[in-house]
Amino acid sequence: MSMLPYLRAAVRPSLRKNAPAQSGYDTTRDPSTSSAVVDCAVYRDGRRASPGLGAARLTPREAIRRVREDGGFAWIGLHEPTEAEFAGIAATFGLHPLAVEDAVHAHQRPKLERYDDTLFTVFKTIHYVDHAQLTSTSEVVETGEVMCFTGPDFVITVRHGGQGSLKGLRHRLQGDPDLLSKGPSSVLHSIADHVVDGYVAVAAAVQDDIDEVESSVFAAPAKGAARGGDAGRIYQLKREVLEFKRAVAPLLRPMELLSERPMRLVDPDIQKYFRDVADHLARVHEQVVGFDELLNSILQANLAQATVAQNEDMRKITSWAAIVAVPTMICGVYGMNFEHMPELQWKYGYPMVMASIVGTCFTIHRALRRHGWL
């Protein structure tokens, strides 16, 4: 169900004026009560502010109030929120309904969009699925999504999928106050860097799978094994690489914009760091494109090997058919049971016919072996 009818009237409520938002959901209820809120914190001068006496943690509404009174920025993390759970936060921070709808329903392609004073960025996370042996049904990569709303004094991250937790990233950032003091754009950069580093690790693991399949295709087959049996594994790996490619390729343009085009919401010092992320992403994209082309070549080689093996089998069948045709023809002639036939009364007729059959078959067999048909 779309959130547009419920959120159009609550696009940018003013927190300072305490203007009530009109919505189909109860946006006056504190959104921190939602189980989707994983963490909520205020950062000043690169350090996490205390939630205050008697408070276990800040609420999103309290966090943005403190930020706009005392400075700094708020970082709210959510995991798979529902429409109702996200409605209060969307109203509190004035998020655009189109971006909110994308964040709730997920399954978006990587992109960067600007809505007034908010940047909406979508990242596809990739996780490598360990497997003892690659089969025609193996899942190689698992995807998730991280959406990031970046405003002048807040960052809201919405995560979908079981992988790609940002908890470790938050702790690492809190250990680097100089970077975190640059504001919300430092969090956006760190998320982009974290996602692309994951791409690099997955690319290395997928490379190992491709090397294994390539070695299997071009290795000598085991005795009794048929050629071309790896086609299913190659095709499955190619599908997984295609899913990987769909996560990497669309992100090139957003990283290019963040690293080259001046943006009011991106600190100039942080923009330099985006160039490094864009460079790593470009290299991963080249790898993934190479994987796709290499798998095409491996699949073609595998099918060619199967065709060659079939041709060899057909030549052997044809060769033996030619050899068997000799005794078939001779025995067919002498099996016609006519009364007046040559050599029927000859003492050595039978041994001579058998010797002729054996000699002719042996000669044909040697000739076919000499030409590589047997």
Query: What is the pLDDT at residue 316?
Result: 85
Query: What is the pLDDT at residue 55?
Result: 56
Query: What's the domain count of the chain?
Result: 1
Query: What is the pLDDT at residue 3?
Result: 41
The answer to whether the beta carbons of residues 30 and 61 sit under 8 Å apart is yes
Q: Which residues of the chain have pLDDT under 70?
A: 1-35, 52-56, 220-229, 342-344
Q: What sign results for the dihedral spanned by CA atoms 195, 166, 186, 92?
A: positive
Query: What is the pLDDT at residue 75?
Result: 94
- Whether residue 125 is contained in a domain is answered as no
- Kindly state the percentage of the chain with pLDDT values over 70: 86
Residue reference for tokens 């190689």: 140
For 320, the domain range is: 311-370
- Whether residue 187 is contained in a domain is answered as no
Query: What is the pLDDT at residue 258?
Result: 93
| Two structure tokens written together for 326 | 């000799």
- Whether residue 117 is contained in a domain is answered as no
Q: Is 47 strand, coil or helix?
A: strand
Q: What is the CATH number of the domain that holds 352?
A: 1.20.58
pTM confidence score: 0.75
- Whether residue 178 is contained in a domain is answered as no
Alpha helices (H) in the chain, listed in sequence order: 4-7, 60-70, 83-93, 97-105, 167-174, 177-180, 184-218, 231-248, 252-260, 268-334, 349-370
| Two structure tokens written together for 182 | 């640059």
- Whether residue 254 is contained in a domain is answered as no
- Whether residue 213 is contained in a domain is answered as no
- Whether residue 337 is contained in a domain is answered as yes
Query: What is the pLDDT at residue 216?
Result: 84
- Whether residue 143 is contained in a domain is answered as no
